[in-house]
Structure 1
Amino acid sequence: MLTFEQKQQIIESYSELERKDISLKRVNYHLPTSLYEKTLVVEKLHPNGNGYVFVGDLLAYESMADERHLVNIREFSEKQLRDILADVIAYLTEEDEPVLPLHETWSNREGDVLTVRFDGHDYGVYHGENVEEIFGKYETAKSYLLEEGFRLKTKHA
């Protein structure tokens, strides 16, 4: 397990993050360049080595995150800590994919029809008005449809 000081050194190697001391000798790190309201990346890093990283909707960390989308980094190695920080910084600072197309129709050989719609944050795959799947990236939704035997039929703006 990394010490508090080692974790601080790793976190502070990311120039995008700003340190803010809080109570009980704990430290928060914010990302002022976040494209979202959420700027707090590392929460309550404690001298005992405990702390949390906000991961939002990043699927890679879904099984590790609590209901507030935080991952406990107490037992993280240097590589794990660097990976999660890089992923979160990219997640919070990269522009969303192009909004268009907002709506696509896909069909398979059996005549089933699914639609893909972008809601401003996620790509939903729908069967009629029922949600089939939700994806964070268009490419993931597209891969899913192709694997299921669907092909793009029409694009709508």
Structure 2
Amino acid sequence: MEENKNYTVSIYSENNIGLLNRISAIFQRRHINIESINVSESEIEHVAKWTVVVSLNEKLLKKIIGQIEKQVEVIKAFYHKQDEIIYQESCLFKIKSDLLFEERQIQNIIKDSNANIVTVNKEFFVLEKSGRTEEIALLHRELKVFGIMQLTRSGRIAVTKDEMKISKRLAKISN
């Protein structure tokens, strides 16, 4: 049996109501957890780009891509291995302000992780960290010791290392 791996799925679609439910149902029916999902405008006007991260085997993923492409609003879907993409994630950490001034180690963690302080007030400060999954996980582990008041993490955003031929095809369709 094929081993499960993390894949990033890129879906180009019209931005219509209800499509999120139908796409997530495709994964749900097969008991596949979506690790992260992000939907934004793409390089082509009026075309949305979905970035979905899942962990499964490639044979099953190919079947799922076929099902996704059967959705009327979906223009094209692709999947990418980790080494085929350049990606970032972002995370916000809310932490008690007194720690910033009383714990020298926190200042070193911030500096070493290349995190940015977004805001500071009497009660709390907010750190922002963008980077790869492992970098954010490391910062999370280091800050957890001191207590995190709130944490929120974005879905993955990604571009392929190779040219996406879809962009040229979509440009012809939209003109």
Shorter-normalised TM-score: what interval?
A: under 0.3
**TM-score if structure 2 supplies the norm length?**
0.21
| Structure with a larger share of its residues in helix | 2
**TM-score if structure 1 supplies the norm length?**
0.23
| Structure with a larger share of its residues in strand | 2
